Amino acid sequence: MTTLTSLNACDPQAFAAALGGIYENSPWVAERAAQQRPFASLAALKLALQAAVGAAGEDQQLVLLRAHPELAGKAAIAGEMTPESVDEQASSGLNRCTPEEYTALHDLNRQYSEKFGFPFILAVKGPTGRGLTRRAVIETFARRLKNGRAAEMAECLRQVHRIAEIRLNQLLGVRHDFGPAVMEWAETLGAISDSEANLTCAYLTPAHQRTAAAIADWMREAGMEVHIDAVGNVVGRYAAARPGAKTLLTGSHYDTVRNGGKYDGRLGILLPVALVRHLHARGERLPFDLEVIGFAEEEGVRFRSTFLGSSAVSGSFDPALLEQQDAEGVSMREALAAAGHDPAAIPAIARDPASLLGFVEVHIEQGPVLLERGLPLGVVTAIAGSSRYLVELDGVASHAGTTPMDMRRDAAAAAAEIVLLVEGRCTGRGALVGTVGQLEVPGGSVNVVPGACRLSLDIRAAADAERLAAVDDILAGISAICARRGIEEKLWKLVEAEAVPCSPHLMEQLGVAVERAGLPRHDLPSGAGHDAMRMAQLTGVAMLFTRCGNGGISHNPLETMTADDAEIAGQVLLDFLRSLAS
């Protein structure tokens, strides 16, 4: 059987021959990667193959893409595909298409080829390696047909690497300890929803309570002591080898946004549970208690207040929130009582900082940085601070046909200029980002110069000084725009959240574990908020990001990741735990 050791030991020709079927009819990829031997890990081998393609140049990359057969195309019908492609297309049932499906795929293949000049490439074995449905294949095909050529070529190359990853796993007989369980559990939880149409899991709804119960069951099966606390957090404890040890906390949230994805938050619960199951099966205990917390609420969907679960653990829960009401007029206090929780017991959830070693959170990146760099993992340096404002602009509504252009006090035109101001001030500034996410012309009409406009501002950066400087410049710019256009401005500050730096010690330990796995360490800030922000009020925190597929999209049903990326994240987290123990 082919192994990494045998690949490292054989001559270059034998190496290339052994990997000849990994990249479709393209042995040159393995030939060039052979120069990088020996490979310390499977991850390092995958990166070397990927780098060989990246360094090849566009012309040879196009040859590689064109070496792939169309899905359910002429080569499939004629039986002219490689054995690997035959197996892959069969895994999605593309050899059993209905006449309507064949017609749809034939038409998509034709449109795609005419638009891009290379065949549509999709790793049809999917994120789990077991195969996508034919419906999912066709929907993905139609969606990606809307891409621009450069973006689609980049996506095709990523799919080529995913196909190669799956083939390499099969060649080497790779068995995953963590990834398949995480993906299977995420699918199970993804089917528990407040809505029949999509995944929505809001705080303390029946779906939320069913999700908590499922997580608690998996924790118990993994060998943990489990309870659900007064705010709804699911807490699993894997006791240390000796009593009285300190505790390392890990976890994330299990609620979702409306119409959300399967991995946001939940990855950070399920992966540590899979690790504990592995440790328990080996009879291995750590010299510290390991607690996995499924935080009950982070997104703020139902009661418009975020981080309820982690705020309770960090001792910063605001009791006034108990009187907050949802859209149906149900207060949080009433919802807690209906779910069997005692609001009066929430203060007792707070942990003693002296008992803790720290908090580490694994999370899907929710962005494209790791994806575009071809890296499965990244170490988070800081969670960005945020400044949010609501801006109201008052001009003069007037007739669109009779008001000369140079005599208008157009609130929407001022808003448009503000949008471009935000974009210009925040572009090319590293981790600084600025967004106008809401833009409204109240009572607007097609034949009326807008007399009023409302817009939101969201300015984020990993460094507070950088964020505040941008805010000052943008607010000054808004005033200047409004003065020049004769517009009255009103501003309301909605949020002022400071950036949260990660613990240098914990961050370094994570980074070293990433490198020991054969991956280059890549540090990046988090532009999104996470439970780690609240936990940082209690103890030192660290975060490990995993790659997000489909262009980095999140808070969306298209949010995706792979079993292989979950596996390598599990290996790194386990190494981190053992290193921390030593």
Which is more confidently placed, 243 or 189? Answer: 189
> Which pLDDT belongs to residue 423?
97
What pLDDT is recorded for position 72? 85
Q: How far apart are the first and last CA of the chain?
A: 35
Q: Does 76 have pLDDT greater than 80? A: no
Owner of token pair 């050791």? 5
Kindly report, residue by residue over 393-446, the tens digit of the pLDDT.
Answer: 999 999 999 999 999 999 999 999 999 999 999 999 888 999 999 999 999 999
CA–CA separation, 185 vs 392, rounded Å?
Answer: 45
Residue 298 pLDDT: 94
Q: What is the pLDDT of residues 140-157, one digit of tens each?
A: 999 999 999 999 999 999
Q: What is the pairing mode between strands 356-364 and 541-546?
A: parallel
Which has the closest alpha carbon to 417: 468, 474, 341, 343? 474
Sign of the CA dihedral with 506 first, then 511, 514, and 515 last = negative
Helix spans in 374-453 (H): 411-426
How far apart CA 151 and CA 391 sit, in angstroms, is 35
Q: What is the pLDDT of residue 441?
A: 96
* Total-model pTM: 0.92
Tell me which DSSP letter residue 7 carries.
H
Tell me, what's the pLDDT at 278?
Answer: 98
pLDDT score for 304 = 87
- Does pLDDT of 75 surpass 90? no
Structure tokens at 366: 């929710």
Q: What is the pLDDT of residue 86?
A: 87
Query: What are the tokens at 382?
Result: 């800081």
Residue 514 CB coordination number (10 Å): 27
Q: Is the model's pLDDT at 78 over the cut of 80?
A: no
Question: What is the pLDDT at residue 581?
Answer: 76
pLDDT digits (tens, 9 = 90+) for 360-404: 999 999 999 999 999 999 999 999 999 999 999 999 999 999 999
Closest C-alpha among 472, 507, 494, 486 to residue 378: 507
What tens digit of pLDDT does each residue of 21-71 get? 999 999 999 999 999 999 999 999 999 999 999 999 999 999 999 999 999
Q: Per-residue pLDDT tens for 565-577? A: 999 999 999 999 9
Residue 567 confidence (pLDDT): 98
pLDDT of 80 strictly over 80: no
**What is the C-alpha separation between 507 and 383, in angstroms, rounded?**
13
Arithmetic mean of pLDDT, 519-525: 96
The full 3-state SS of 83-116, as one line of letters, equals HHHHHHHHHCCHHHCCHHHHHHHHHHHHHHHHHH
- DSSP β-bridge partners for residue 118: none
pLDDT tens, residue by residue, 501-510: 999 999 999 9
Query: Any idea how long the chain is?
Result: 582
User: Average pLDDT, whole number, for the chain?
Assistant: 95
Q: What are the distances in angstroms from CA 312 to CA 138, 288, 534, 546?
A: 45, 22, 9, 27
Angle among Cα 162, 167, 168 to the nearest 5 degrees reads 95
All domains of the chain in start order, with CATH = 4-172 (1.10.3330.10), 179-381+500-581 (3.40.630.10), 385-497 (3.30.70.360)
Q: How far apart are CA 473 and CA 572, in angstroms?
A: 42
Which pLDDT band, with edges at 50, 70 and 90, does 73 fall under?
Answer: confident
pLDDT at 112: 96
Predicted local distance difference test score (pLDDT) of residue 1: 80
Q: Which residues of 61-70 are buried (b: 16+ CB within 10 A; e: fewer)?
A: bbebbebbbb
Q: What is the pLDDT of residue 319?
A: 95
456-478 pLDDT, tens digit per residue, is: 999 999 999 999 999 999 999 99
pLDDT for 313 beyond 80: yes
